[in-house]
Amino acid sequence: MTYPLAIKEAVRKEGVAIIPGIYQPNDLALIKDVIDNTDNSTSAFRKSNGLFAIRRFLLEVPLSLPLIFNTKLKQVISELFGDEYFVVKSIYFDKPEESNWFVAYHQDLSISVDKKIALDGYGPWTTKQDQFAVRPPLEILENSFTIRIHLDETTEENGALRVIPGSHLKGIYRAENIDWSVEKEVSCNVPEGGIIIMKPLLLHASGRTTNGKKRRVIHIEFSKQELPKHLEWAEHFYYHQQNRSVND
C-alpha cells in the first residue's frame, strides 16, 4: 500500500494525521500481553489510581519491538519521512476507566537526553527520577515527529487528543495566547489499531475519561538529528534495523 500524498501534506500543513488499520486485533492482543507480563518494579514504571505509564518503553519492554514496528508502520515512516529517522523517546501510558486525569493545551518543547551539560541554545533543563530533559533549539523540534499508537478506540469520551491544526508552524505558541477567534479545535478520534502522526510543536490537549473505557497509547518520538558533542539522546533506536542494539 502506498500512503496518499494527502497524508504527508496534512502532517506538513496541519501538523497531524490519523491512519487507521496499522494493527489488527491479533497484533494488539500480542502487544498488550507483552506489556502485561513485563516486570513493572523498576523506576521507569509509574503507577497511580489515575495513570499507569512506562518511561523508556522500548528499553523496558524490548519484546514489543517486532510487534510495534511491523511492516505497515515501517512503510508509513519510510514513505512519509524517509529512512534517516530513529527513535529518541518512547512512553506507554494507560488511562484507566476511572481516570479523571487531563492535560491542558501545550507544545512538546523538550527532548530526553542522557545528561545535563552547559550548551548554548539548550535550556531550561528538568530532571525527573534521574531522567534529563531540555528544550533544544527550535530546529530540532521542527524536524522531529511523533507517532501515537492506539491500543484502544479513542473518542472525546475517553480522552481523545484535541489539537489546533497548523499551530506547529507558529514557533513557540503559549496556550494563554491562543486566539480562539482564529484557531479551531479538532478532536483526534482514533479507531483501535490506528495511529496519530503529529509534530511536537502542535498545540494539543486531552480531556478526562467519561465513558468508563480505557485509553492505552504508545507514544514514540523520532528525529534524524545528532546532538552536539558530549550530549546523547536518552534513547536511540533504529526502528528499521531491529537486529541492532536498542540504544545503539
Q: Would you say residue 228 lies in a domain?
A: no
- Cα distance between residue 246 and residue 208, in whole Å: 34
pLDDT at site 245: 43
pLDDT at site 248: 47
Number of domains in the chain: 1
- Determine the 3-state secondary structure of 137 from DSSP: coil
Please state, as a whole number, how many other Cβ atoms lie within 10 Å of the Cβ of residue 81: 16
Give me the phi and psi of 197, to 5 degrees please: -105, 130
pLDDT at site 242: 58
Q: Would you say residue 28 lies in a domain?
A: yes
Residues in the chain, pLDDT under 70? 1-3, 41-51, 96-101, 241-248
pLDDT at site 207: 84
pTM score over 0.95: no
Cis peptide before 124 (omega within 30 of 0): yes
CATH code at position 126: 2.60.120.620
Range of the domain at 49: 5-223
Q: Would you say residue 237 lies in a domain?
A: no
Q: Would you say residue 247 lies in a domain?
A: no
Q: Would you say residue 244 lies in a domain?
A: no
pLDDT at site 240: 74
pLDDT at site 243: 46
pLDDT at site 211: 82
For residue 9, give the H/E element and its range.
helix 5-13
Cβ(13)–Cβ(164) below 8 Å: no
Q: Would you say residue 146 lies in a domain?
A: yes
